Amino acid sequence: MSLWPESLAEVARRTQAGERDFDLCWREFLDAFYADQYAGQRADMLAEQPEPLAGSLADVREAFLSGLAAHLAQSYGLPVPDWCETYGRALKRPRFAGGME
C-alpha cells in the first residue's frame, strides 16, 4: 500500500477504517494525482466507485468525492466516471464550506 491513497475509493476505505482523517486523506490523494509519476494512471485513479460512507458527514463527504472526481476528470480531459451520476446524491440541501451560506 502506498503512503498516498491512489484512488478516491481508497480515500473512502482508509477513512472508514479509521486509518486517516478524511480531509487529510483526500489531500494526500491529490498529491498522488498531481504527481508526474501517476500521469498515465489518472483515469484509473478516478474509475472505482467509493464504498458508501458512514457517520454524520457521510452525505457531505460522498458528494464531495463525487464532485472532486468529476472536476478532476473534466480538468484533465479524462472520462467522467459513471458513478459520479449516482454516488453522493443524498444531500437534502446545499452545503457550503466556510460559512458562505
Domain residues for the domain of 18 are 8-99
pLDDT score recorded for residue 24: 95
Burial of 74 (0-12, 13-18, 19+ CB in 10 A): exposed
Domain count, the chain: 1
Terminal-to-terminal C-alpha distance of the chain: 39
- Provide the residue-wise pLDDT of the chain in tens; the chain has 101 residues: 568 899 999 999 999 999 999 999 999 999 999 999 999 999 999 999 999 999 988 999 999 999 999 999 999 999 999 999 999 888 877 777 776 66
| Residue 2: inside a domain | no
| Residue 56: inside a domain | yes
Could you give the maximum distance between any two Cα atoms of the chain, in Å?
A: 39
Answer for the pair 65, 87: CB distance below 8 angstroms, yes or no.
yes
